[in-house]
């Protein structure tokens, strides 16, 4: 049976900024120099002739690398054998990740996940300090009782008040056993899991949130891609060959176009 819950119950108590580029500038400052270009359909939006490594204003670019992108053992929503997989690297405290989840994800779920055309995987990339990591860990604790998505929605409806106290209060409001949840949370049971997700993201060249990877589903839950960096308009830009990289909280219509293009292949 398809997973169901009412997103309307988790609407935010404030009006988010309507900006669709995500928390990418913050991540650039954390992980290295150079700009980040939003990618659509595996091709850069920026125009101009790409510069090969070692040339142009960007300086030396990282060499191409072959990586295997995995869904790991993270929360999955949808049919396991759905033809497409949409994997998101998300930060529980990133406002644009929350905007995607509230405004775009419900329609993707209705049109593609519930109809068995796509499965959605969420992996962690907390870039806003330890509270972001703790929020991700708390969601994994909720997942032990099958409440990951409800808990994730609760966080995104209350992003201006993510504290240790509230992370515990929200578990109680969702009907979770507080003793079990608090023990899991206080012991930092899933800290290593969250750290591994972050390390994997960095190994893929992903440096900010939200970032999405759209690819054909394989029985292994993995996809092999070539990670390439190009210089365009003085910026270092990440590209993938073998999967579609989507950087930013785009509106539903743009996700729909990319999903439909992949389904048609």
Q: In whole angstroms, what is the distance from residue 190 CA to residue 203 CA?
A: 20
pLDDT score, position 62: 87
CA gap 20, 114 in Å, rounded: 25
- The pLDDT of residue 58: 81
Q: What is the pLDDT of residue 61?
A: 87
Do 212 and 96 contact (CB within 8 A), yes or no?
no
Q: In what order do the strands lie in the sheet with 65-70?
A: 65-70, 222-232, 235-241
CA of residue 259 relative to chain centroid, distance? 16
CA angle 125, 60, 62 (to 5 degrees): 40
Say if residues 225 and 63 touch (Cβ distance below 8 Å): no
What per-residue confidence (pLDDT) applies to 50? 36
Instruction: Please state the pTM of the whole predicted model.
Output: 0.80
State residue 207 phi and psi, 5-degree precision.
-125, 5
- Give residue limits of the domains in the chain: 27-249
What per-residue string of b and e applies to 153-177 under the rule 16 or more CB within 10 Å gives b?
bbbbbbbeebeeebbbebbeeeebe
Q: What is the pLDDT of residue 190?
A: 98
- Cα separation, 107 vs 100, in Å, equals 10
In the predicted model, residues of the chain with pLDDT beneath 50 are 1-5, 7-22, 24-55
Domain 27-249 fold: Glutaredoxin (3.40.30)
Measured CA to CA, the distance from residue 144 to residue 51 in angstroms comes to: 47
For strands 39-40 and 222-232, give the pairing: unpaired
Give pLDDT, residue 121: 96
Confidence at residue 70, expressed as pLDDT on a 0 to 100 scale: 87
Within 10 Å of residue 115's Cβ, how many Cβ atoms? 13
C-beta neighbour count of 134 within 10 angstroms: 22
Side-chain-facing half-sphere of 136: CA atoms under 13 Å: 30
Q: Left, alpha or beta for 78 (phi > 0: left; psi -120 to 50: alpha)?
A: left
Nearest-angstrom CA–CA distance, 36 and 80: 32
């Amino acid at each position: 049976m398809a997973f169901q819950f009412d997103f309307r119950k988790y609407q935010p108590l404030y009006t988010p900024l309507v900006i669709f580029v995500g928390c990418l500038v913050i991540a650039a400052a954390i992980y290295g120099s150079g700009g980040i270009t939003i990618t659509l359909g595996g091709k850069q939006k920026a125009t101009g002739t790409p510069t090969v490594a070692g040339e142009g204003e960007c300086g030396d670019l990282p060499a191409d690398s072959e990586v295997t992108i995995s869904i790991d053992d993270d929360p999955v929503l949808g049919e396991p054998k759905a033809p497409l997989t949409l994997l998101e690297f998300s930060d529980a405290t990133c406002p644009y990740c929350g905007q995607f989840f509230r405004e775009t994800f419900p329609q993707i779920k209705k049109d593609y996940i519930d109809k068995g055309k796509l499965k959605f995987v969420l992996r962690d990339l907390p870039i806003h300090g330890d509270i972001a990591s703790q929020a991700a860990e708390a969601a994994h604790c909720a997942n032990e009782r099958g409440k990951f998505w409800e808990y994730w929605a609760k966080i995104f409806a209350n992003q201006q008040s993510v504290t240790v106290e509230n992370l515990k209060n929200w578990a109680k409001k969702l009907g979770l056993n507080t003793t079990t949840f608090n023990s899991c949370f206080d012991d930092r049971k899933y800290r290593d899991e969250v750290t591994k997700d972050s390390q994997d993201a960095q190994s893929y060249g992903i440096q900010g949130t939200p970032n999405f990877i759209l690819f054909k589903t394989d029985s292994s839950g993995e996809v092999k891609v070539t990670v390439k960096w190009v210089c365009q308009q003085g910026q270092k830009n990440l590209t993938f060959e073998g999967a579609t990289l989507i950087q930013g909280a785009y509106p539903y219509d743009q996700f729909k176009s990319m999903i439909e293009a992949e389904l048609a292949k």
